[in-house]
C-alpha cells in the first residue's frame, strides 16, 4: 500500500488522534505517578506550552508538505491537528491558572496586565479561540469561504505571538536556543506561504495583462 493510499485509510484519523493524545497521556500519568520532577507545576506549564508550539508547527507544515510531496490526502488531517493546537494551549492556560495562580481571577488579570509575555500569550489564545470555534464545515458554510479563509489567516499572527511569548519567557534566563529553533521553523513555513501567495499574485497579474493585450 502506498503512503498516499494509507493516508486515505479509515483508520488513519483514529491513529493520528491517538498519537496526538500521547503527550497529554504522558503528562497525566507523570502527574499521577509524581514523575514530573521537583516542580511539577512548572513542568506542566512549560510542557503544555511546548506542545502547543509543536502542534502549531506541524499544522502549518501540512500544506507545504502536501504541495511539495504531492500528497493531497494530507489535507484531511489539518483540521484535527489545528484543534490539537487549541487543546494544548487550553491545557497550558489551565495549568498556569490552576497551579500557578490558584484560579484567582483577580490575580490572573493583574498578572496578565503586569507581565508582557503573559499578555502576549493570552492574546494568542484569544485569537486562536474563534479559529477553533469555526473549524467545522457548518461554520464554513455559514460564514462563506472567503470570510472563513480571511479569519483563519489569523494563524500567522498567532504564530508570531507564540514565538514572542516564548522569547520573553526565556529572556529572563538568557536561554534562546529552543526559541531560535521554533522561530526558524515557523519563519520557513510562513516564508513558503508568502512565496506561494506572491507567485499566485504574479501569475494572476500576468494572466490579466495577456487578456488585455
Task: For 35-68, write each residue's pLDDT tens digit.
Answer: 999 999 999 999 999 999 999 999 999 999 999 9
Mean pLDDT over 76-103 rounds to 96
Residue partners of 63: CB distance under 8 A and separation at least 6: 75, 78, 193
Residue 172 above 80 pLDDT? no
- Residue 176 carries which DSSP code? -
Computed over every residue of the chain, the mean pLDDT equals 91
Q: What three-state secondary structure class fits 192?
A: helix
Judge whether residue 208 has pLDDT over 70.
no
Please, is 131 exposed, middle or buried when counting C-beta atoms within 10 Å of its C-beta (0-12, 13-18, 19+)? buried
Between 37-41, 72-76, 178-182, 205-209, the lowest mean confidence (pLDDT) is in: 205-209
Q: How far apart are CA 106 and CA 122, in angstroms?
A: 15
Span 132-150, average pLDDT: 92
* CB 148, CB 134: distance < 8 Å: yes
Rg, the chain, Cα only: 20
Q: With cut-offs at 50, 70 and 90, classify the pLDDT of residue 76.
A: very high
pLDDT at 203 over 70: yes
Report CA torsion sign: 63, 180, 135, 202.
negative
Q: Look at residue 34 and give its three-state secondary structure.
A: coil
Contact 168, 116 (CB under 8 A): yes
pLDDT of residue 170: 86
Contact yes or no for 44/93 (Cβ under 8 A): no
Q: What percent of the chain has pLDDT over 70?
A: 95
pLDDT band at 197 (very low <50, low <70, confident <90, very high): confident
CA distance 65 to 71: 7
**Residue whose C-alpha cell is 500569550:** 121
What nine digits make up the cell of 44? 506542566
User: Mean pLDDT throughout 145-172?
Assistant: 92
Residues 6+ apart with CB under 8 A from 61: 189
State the pLDDT at residue 63. 93
pLDDT at 168 over 60: yes
The pLDDT value recorded for residue 180 is 93
CB 123 within 8 A of CB 113: no
Sign, CA torsion 84/89/94/95: positive
Amino acid at each position: 500500500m502506498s503512503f498516499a493510499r494509507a493516508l486515505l485509510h479509515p483508520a488513519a484519523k483514529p491513529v493520528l488522534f491517538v498519537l496526538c493524545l500521547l503527550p497529554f497521556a504522558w503528562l497525566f500519568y507523570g502527574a499521577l505517578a509524581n514523575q514530573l520532577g521537583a516542580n511539577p507545576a512548572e513542568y506542566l506549564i512549560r510542557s503544555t506550552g511546548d506542545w502547543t508550539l509543536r502542534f502549531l508547527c506541524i499544522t502549518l507544515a501540512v500544506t507545504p508538505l502536501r504541495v511539495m510531496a504531492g500528497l493531497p490526502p494530507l489535507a484531511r488531517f489539518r483540521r484535527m491537528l489545528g484543534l490539537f493546537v487549541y487543546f494544548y494551549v487550553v491545557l497550558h492556560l489551565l495549568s498556569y491558572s490552576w497551579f500557578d495562580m490558584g484560579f484567582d481571577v483577580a490575580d490572573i488579570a493583574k498578572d496578565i496586565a503586569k507581565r508582557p509575555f503573559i499578555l502576549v500569550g493570552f492574546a494568542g489564545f484569544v485569537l486562536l479561540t474563534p479559529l477553533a470555534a469555526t473549524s467545522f464545515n457548518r461554520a464554513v458554510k455559514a460564514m462563506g469561504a472567503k470570510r472563513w479563509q480571511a479569519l483563519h489567516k489569523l494563524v500567522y499572527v498567532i504564530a508570531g505571538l507564540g514565538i514572542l511569548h516564548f522569547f520573553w519567557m526565556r529572556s529572563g534566563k538568557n536561554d534562546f536556543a529552543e526559541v531560535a529553533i521554533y522561530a526558524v521553523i515557523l519563519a520557513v513555513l510562513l516564508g513558503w506561504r508568502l512565496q506561494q501567495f506572491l507567485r499566485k499574485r504574479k501569475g494572476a497579474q500576468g494572466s490579466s495583462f495577456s487578456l488585455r493585450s
